[in-house]
Each structure stands twice: as C-alpha cells, then as structure tokens.
Structure 1
C-alpha cells in the first residue's frame, strides 16, 4: 500500500471510479473486493503479474510483480502492498516452479512495492531484499512513520466516512446517489474492510542489501541488471533490465494509465527516462498498469513532464504562489490524451498526477524541492 495514494483516494470523484473486477483473469471469488491480477509471460520464464487496482479504485494499489524464473532460482521484482497480496503471487510462483525465490528487488520506497516482503521472508528463508540505499532511508522516514496511524485510525475513518455517505445516500457534491453510485460505494466499503486485516498483519521487512548504482546477476545465460539511473518518481528508483530477453521493468518511473507524481523530481525524471530509452527494450513492464510494447507511452509522459515543469517555471518567474500556479498550469491537452474519455482514469489522473506534479514542479522551480516532504 502506498499511504499517499490511499489518502488521495478520498479526492477521487465517485463518478470517476469503477469496479473492473470482471476483467481480471485471476480472481479469488470473495465478497470483499480482493484485487485481481493478470499473469503474462513476457519472455520465456519471465512472468508479469499486473494487478487491476492501478487507479486506486478500492483500498489502494499494488505494484506489478515481475517473476524471473532462472536455472536454479527465482528473482522477483516488487512485493506488493500487503503480505496477503504477496502470498497470492507466491502461490502462483509455486505453480510455475519449485525453485526458491532468492532475491526480491524493491524498486522504491512506496509501500505497495515492498510491504509484502514478509510473505517472501516466511516462504523462502534466506531470501535477500535488494533496494537503493535511499529507498531504505525514505521507507523508514516516510512510509513506516505513517503506517500505524493509517491502519489504526486512517483507514477506519475512511470506512466510517463512506458508510455515513452510503447511509445518507448523498454524494460529496450534494447530489443523491444513483443506483450505480450505491453499488460503487458498497464495493469501496467492502474493499476497505478487506484491506484492514491485511494492514494489521504487516510487520515491515526492510531490504537486506542496498546498492547505489547497479548490481548484475548472472543466472546461466540470463543476465539481470538491477540499476539506478537517477531520481524520478522517488530518489531511489531502481529498474531491472534483461538484455537477452529485452525486457525492462521500470518500477514507478512509469505507471499506466495515470502516472503517479507524489514526491517526484520532474526535471531529473525526464533525464532518467531518457537513459532508460537508450535500452533496446521490446517489452516495458511499468510499476502499475498495462505492459508496453514500444516507447510511445514513455514519450508522451516525458513530453508532459517537460510541459508541467516549463509552465511551473514560468509561473514562478511571475511570482505566482502555489495556488495561482495550479490555476496557471494547463495540462488539459495531455489530460485528454491520457484519459481517452475514461472517467475512472480522469479521476486518477487528477489525484495522482495533476495535483502532486504541479506542486513538485513549483517547488523545483523555486529551488525548494529537496527541502520539501516526500
């Protein structure tokens, strides 16, 4: 779980949320809105587990897991947001191979990519957890500091808020619930209640091995490059590159269909993505959302990052404060290209990219980025 993203769910308009459970190919049929996922073999022995909650439509988000089955072991990229969710991926791994998971890469500090570590520790004694050194520092300072508050008071308060609104039948905008609205709220409440015991179960397991540049693993003929190419979505983003298979796992340096920009570094993010772009990837596995088979989505995202930062710099040059900058920055053309008429993506775009990206760009333009909370 990513606590900032979970909090942002409250800003999503009701009409901009949907339950896409029916589209998931792997689904435990429970009444409590457990997230579904789809497994895709992107290269021989390399499987992507893409969760269907990238838009924050339920109790949070879960990062995509990339499972790399080697000659003698398994390497996993990202461990989901709760042990209960990670155990579902582990169950699928065991269907694919009896080989042990020896390394789990945590691409960055957001909890939806590493708070499931304990499930791997319990299932595979001796497993190593690899991350950038900044990831560990930020996980301690940012994610762990808010975890107890979120599971003890934050999520219960969110459940109570939705239950009150459901009982009254009135949306935040004052309009009465439609039949569809009521069904969506019931689904949200069920999803939140499903997540609560999962959050309570978490005993954080931090990475056991840190790197500052790259780590190359050789597994028979397979080379696995765990690399740090610069700051972007966080100051400790790792990506994983399989040169023989031409598969690239980006972590949250890339998220589809609505980017996440909390705590980001827009100027350096563009540079980091440019470095990734030099790799001859045929398959790009984002931290969330649909697998990409070319660079078109990356190029669009880099273009939008550049526009966001340029407009924020122009606003700061005019002496505008943050609220005035929010009004001055116009990303409507990009919003249209990302959203493509989908109200669910529209809500996520506004909450997960537009609001935090403009603030971070404004701070960057003022030279205050490194002083601000992440």
Structure 2
C-alpha cells in the first residue's frame, strides 16, 4: 500500500504557533496548482507498483482551493496513478470554509474524509492563536459537516496553551464528544523557533508553556476520551471504532508515500526526499526543469531508530518479532537490555512507563508523557 500527500502552501492568516510551510500571498495559487500537477505527472512512472490507498491534501489550508483547482489535482492523480476505488481521500479544511456548497462540491469530487482545524471552541484561544475562524464558526461548521453527510471526519484540538484552564479543556472535549466527532487529533502547544509565538514568548508578551499543565491536560484527555469510547491508537490520535486515519497510520507503519508540493516529504522504502520550502523557487524549478528537492538514503540504523520512535507512539507498540526479523537477534537483546536499564533508572520516579505484553513493548499512560525521551534512550 502507498499514499500520496499534496501540500497546498497557502493560508488566509498566519497562526502564531505554526511553523509549517505556507504563504498568505494567494496571487500565484493557480501557478502553484499547475506546478504541483506537473510534479505529480513527472514522478508518476516510478510510483506504479502499488495501488494508492490514501490521498491527503494538507497544508497550509487546502480548503482555499477553488473547486476547479481541486478537481484538476484529483484528476491528475486519477489519470497518472493507480488510485484504489476504495481510497481514503482527505482534505484539510478550516471551519470558516465549511459552507454547504463547498461541502457538497467536495463530496461530488470524491473527498470522503475531512480534517478540520478547529484547535479550540473558545473565542479567547482562537484570538491569541490568530486563527481565521471564530468559536461560533467552529460549532456551526461541525453541524454543517454532519448535515452534508460526512461520516468520516477529524478535528484538531490544542491543549496546554496559555490561560487554558482544565475546565475549559474539558469543555473542548465535551463539545467534541457531544457532537460525536469520530476522530480527534490533540496536540500539546509547542513554541517553535521563528514563529510569532516564539517572538511573543521571548519578548515577555506571552507566557511560555507549562509542562505540568500540559501533562495534567494530556492525562485528562486520555481518561476522558477513553470513558467516551475512543480508541487511543497513537499518542496524539483518538478515534471511534472504524475511524482510524488510514493515511497517518501508513506513516507510522513505515509504508511508502509520495509528497508533492513545496516542503512535502516522500519515502520510497530506502530514501527520504523533501522538496524546497519556497513557493517561488519551487514553481520556477518545476517550470525550468531544475532540481527542487534534496534526499538522503536511510541507513539500517536510521530505519531502526525511526521504527522505535513511531512504534512506541502507537497502541500496538514495538513488535519484538518484527524487530528481530528486521535487525537481528543481537539488536533485540541490546534493546531489551536498554529497556531493563530504563525501568531500573525510573523505578523510584512513579508508575511504570513501559510494559512487555505478548512480545510487544508498549507505553503506559504515564510513559506516554515521556515518549520521545524513552525512544531516545533506546537509541
């Protein structure tokens, strides 16, 4: 199975916390769509082995595309690639773009899953984030999505933000649960370098993140959604039964994916490739035939580290039989030695963070608070 990710690098406003590649200058949107279409066409011959099971329009804000632009890119994929008739086709959308007419046209085009960037149902949060939508639009947008007949959709929420009380965080979750949102992606706020938020924190106009608040709200998140019947299938992702994101799950399981558009990444099983994160230079390179990407061949150690990092983040955990087949018995023994060392070092610090269950290493809820550090320890 393989997937395609298409990066649409445009937004109406620059969210203060965001460090993804995008531009608020929309004048060259059509040029960009044509350039992405050309990249998809030129790379198609070497991506004909597997059927394409997932197609994901991310960004940026793909819901800014006109219906003609979206249909054009969809038709390029259908013409040039072996797109499965049962493919999961996701469009990221902002609440202010969820008009009844847009929803109807997206469905007609073949979009069968939406990922909605709500972030918060509280107006105060949306204002400091510099989001383009309001709290009212967030709630009304959900109603329109369901009225339009979209059964498979996800929303993003952010916790651990300045001024977000536990009560307000609970209210965000309760609105999602009450609306029977089938999938939630929930992230702790991070202060990324070179963002407006980083400047605000550095200048003292915004408080830095509070690790205790973030840990507390993450534990609240896990317990609240568990009681509501959601499966915690990856550290940041929760779904009702049958609504796991097939596209994102393919990343975590090491499957192949092609990324088109500026800043997009690809993985062919051996090499990691990433496109230049500059709209003008990307378009120019496509038009003139210049190289617009870099790539690296992953060593066996790179792949081993990536497997540890991604597997530990999932509910299934790290499969020791798979690990042995891929990297050998000696590496598995070394891994188990490191696990024993970690458990010994953290024994007096609180609840157990790792368990071995049926030949799988899995994080406990407490361990999920330290996922990146645990993975690094195994490196």
| TM-score normalised to structure 1 length | 0.29
- Report the structure number with the largest CA radius of gyration: 2
